[in-house]
Chain A
């Protein structure tokens, strides 16, 4: 009984104290606006985001941001359902294809008027980064993190290279060198792969197979789509050669796509159960979030630069015009921005913009948040911080990779197009179609959809 009373008093005191400690409640003169922030900054980043929010609330005491970190599984469905509902979150973290999709359906608002009213300097961003957030001439969000650095970089395990007789300080520059090293390193048995040299896909051969194909395509001097976004170009000879190389790597060196799927089954880089952490993978394509996750999951391994390195994505050595490259804005999991739902009242939208602006350009916003993860910022000045070289041993390679990134034009129907391409590439992996047929079939189906989209778009914007 006594314990129960004490417990109640303690809880009541705790609640009172926690309200008292909230800066937003303490210093606000007017009404407090609660801003639900739907985002995917999970794992160790959640605490960093809480800190960012704390700084924002100190400067904006009348806005209380509720950090709603969401699970990654079924992210797209969750996001779209929330965005389309009658009571969406106050501000949403969305990828570029989603931002475009929401914009064209009127679910989010353009922020040009707020940018002008607040005097936000968009010149602080790299042109390529802020440029990806425009649809039909209107700006829908401020970027954070970078869209770049998503596909152009790879990490590799120096120990596995050393053990296989290769110079760990001389990673492969070309597809051919990568293939040779991968073949020497890969260890497989009837149960599957024990040690993987390199996979054509980042986590599995089939999840997002289209994005991996497009990433490799640009290292063979190919293009996904024309600069005006109206003509698909991926079934070019460079495209066919790229897919043939990917299929060969998957089937002839790795023993088939089933091996790759099984190898990565139920693993996650951010959770520390990825084969990389057990010295089971030599080459890994991953975006710049890798540095932060690695540092948290295995700080000793991260500090030991004798055991791992960073390199640019290899290119086709048989194509004299090819070079290392990356893409920005294509991937369904890239070019993130913070978008504002249309259904909310103006004061809520104003608060949401203030928060988006803080995330985007404030030194204590995205700049500090990304620095803590040792990954680059879309704000030029942030990346000039010399301390980056202390927290990221391969910072110069990161900057080199960013400089090689090429923006890819997409439309609001990117999700549907990506699904068609991915399914056809999968058929090539499984030998249902030849790589050339797979790309040609995908092209025919996708171009038809794209033509229909542009015809409707042009008619609406006449």
Chain B
């Protein structure tokens, strides 16, 4: 009797559940789209549409005060960039210089710190938090702190240099020191990459290290033949993001050096040039063309990295998976 009652009670529930599952299965594609719709809508409104509009503007002479449709000038902006704009080459050089040093340095630094933070030591949670905290400090605040840190007369860095008998450095006033200062500042935000490395490190199976230890492998061998190869997907990911972000460096330079990029425009990075053309010279069409060129450079570089990644990034034994 009791069993019968239970059956009566659970029967409709089971039916409802199975109907729901059936409906869910039948409409799974639709539901999937519904879930990604907020992102998709955001992408269309905030990324794709502005990108297309920017692309259109790059072929126009859109300036301050332009009323109605800006005049179409074809490739004139692009031709001017490559033939007349002396700050295009300079800003690109400054940006590539910055990237060339800051991206590898930050990768190495973040990787080393992640290795240390992956050790089994008491209170490690505290150390991890301490190393990550700088990354949650807003960039503007961090830059202002750095401005004081780099002050020639009163800054900590020069006080330290003098203390050890070295000559003080004109961090923000000498054209030769400006780019190294920016590179130094870029290390501040290594925490994000460090966390990704840490997650990657924790995904490496322990038995690989145990096998290496049995075979007599030293710590150096383990790092070189197990950790680094298995971390290459993470290194690749961080490298890609670092390059994309590095090309877009702007706020810290703007705050430290102003729109001119400091003495002799030694810190005039590409995005600052784009900004100046738009909001200082009010040549919005020209500025749009500059940003399209930056997009193309990043796009081509990303493609190159992706296509060459199979030569150095270890994605596991793909043939086994296929087979």
Contacts and interface: CB of A to CB of B under 8 A. Distances in A.
Given A191-B168, A258-B174, A261-B173, A415 B281 contact: yes
Interface residues of A, number: 31
B80 interface: no
B147 A192 contact: no
B227 interface: no
Nearest to A413: B281
A191 B263 contact: no
B303 to A, nearest CB: 35
Nearest to B67: A106
Q: Is the interface of A mostly helix, strand, loop or mixed?
A: helix
B124 interface: no
Interface in B257-277: 258-260, 263-265
A191 B264 contact: no
A107 B152 contact: no
A192 B152 contact: yes
A107 B280 contact: no
A321 to B, nearest CB: 34
Contacts of A426: 263-264
A80 B282 contact: yes
B263 A265 contact: no
Given A105-B65, A423-B265, A191 B175 contact: no
A74 interface: yes
Contacts of B152: 191-192, 258, 262, 265
A191 B65 contact: no
A190 B167 contact: yes
Contacts of A427: 264
A262 B170 contact: yes
Contacts of A432: 264
B251 to A, nearest CB: 13
Contacts of B67: 106
Interface in B128-178: 147, 151-153, 158, 162, 167-168, 170, 172-175
Interface in A117-171: none
A74 B259 contact: yes
Interface in A80-122: 80-81, 83-84, 101-102, 105-107
Nearest to A194: B153
A262 B265 contact: no
Contact of B168 (A74, A80, A83, A190): A190
B70 to A, nearest CB: 13
A226 B168 CA distance: 46
B147 A266 contact: yes
A102 B258 CA distance: 24
B63 interface: yes
A107 B64 contact: yes
A84 B66 CA distance: 9
B40 interface: no
B280 A191 contact: no
Contacts of A102: 65
A207 B257 CA distance: 11
Interface residues of B, number: 27
Q: In terms of DSSP, what is the predominant structure of the interface of chain B? A: loop
A77 interface: yes
A190 B165 CA distance: 12
Contacts of B259: 74, 77
A156 B264 CA distance: 30
A265 B172 contact: yes
A257 interface: yes
A59 B145 CA distance: 48
A213 to B, nearest CB: 16
A86 to B, nearest CB: 10
A69 interface: no
B279 interface: yes
Contacts of A81: 279
A332 B151 CA distance: 28
Contacts of B173: 257-259, 261-262, 265
Contacts of B167: 190
A192 B64 contact: no
A281 B221 CA distance: 62
A207 B261 CA distance: 11
A371 interface: no
A396 interface: no
Q: Which of A81, A107, A265 has the most CB of B within 10 A?
A: A265
B264 A80 contact: no
Given A107-B65, A258-B263, A423-B265, A192 B153 contact: yes
27 contacts: A76-B280, A77-B259, A77-B279, A80-B64, A80-B282, A81-B279, A101-B64, A102-B65, A106-B65, A107-B65, A191-B158, A192-B153, A206-B260, A258-B152, A258-B170, A258-B174, A261-B173, A262-B151, A262-B152, A262-B172, A265-B151, A265-B152, A265-B173, A266-B147, A423-B260, A423-B265, A430-B263
Interface of A: 74, 76-77, 80-81, 83-84, 101-102, 105-107, 190-192, 206-207, 257-259, 261-262, 265-266, 415-416, 423, 426-427, 430, 432
Given A257-B173, A262-B151, 5 more contacts: A84-B65, A105-B64, A207-B258, A266-B147, A430-B175
Interface of B: 63-65, 67, 147, 151-153, 158, 162, 167-168, 170, 172-175, 258-260, 263-265, 279-282
Closest 9 CB pairs of A and B: A105-B65, A261-B173, A258-B173, A262-B152, A77-B279, A258-B170, A84-B64, A191-B153, A262-B173
